[in-house]
Amino acid sequence: MESVRKAKQRLRNYPLLLGKCADKAAIYAACVTRDLNVQHLICDKEFEEFNACLQKAAKEMKTKL
């Protein structure tokens, strides 16, 4: 059951990770909601920046995503 405990801990860390990347999340959300006709990969740059921020924050917290 160790794996279940670790998974629950990772889920508890998500609000902290998102809080550290709130600015990048807001930019990505604004891009996605800008137009009703969202096209494939139109917000790719914003997503990559948000994803990189999450990965960096997870590494600093010594956790996985």
Q: How far is residue 24's CA from residue 13's CA, in Å, rounded to a whole number?
A: 18
Q: Does residue 41 belong to any structural domain of this protein?
A: yes
3-state helix vs strand vs coil in the chain, percent to 5:
75, 0, 25
Q: Is 65 in a helix, a strand, or coil?
A: coil
Stretch (H or E) spanning 15: helix 2-20
Q: How far is residue 65's CA from residue 20's CA, in Å, rounded to a whole number?
A: 14
Q: Does residue 65 belong to any structural domain of this protein?
A: no
Cβ(34)–Cβ(52) below 8 Å: no
- The residue segments making up the domain with residue 15 are 2-60
Q: Does residue 52 belong to any structural domain of this protein?
A: yes
> How confident is the model over 17-44, as a mean pLDDT?
92
What is the tens place of the pLDDT at every residue in 4-27? 998 898 889 899 999 999 999 999
Q: Does residue 43 belong to any structural domain of this protein?
A: yes
The total number of structural domains in the chain stands at 1
Residue 38 has pLDDT above 90, yes or no: no
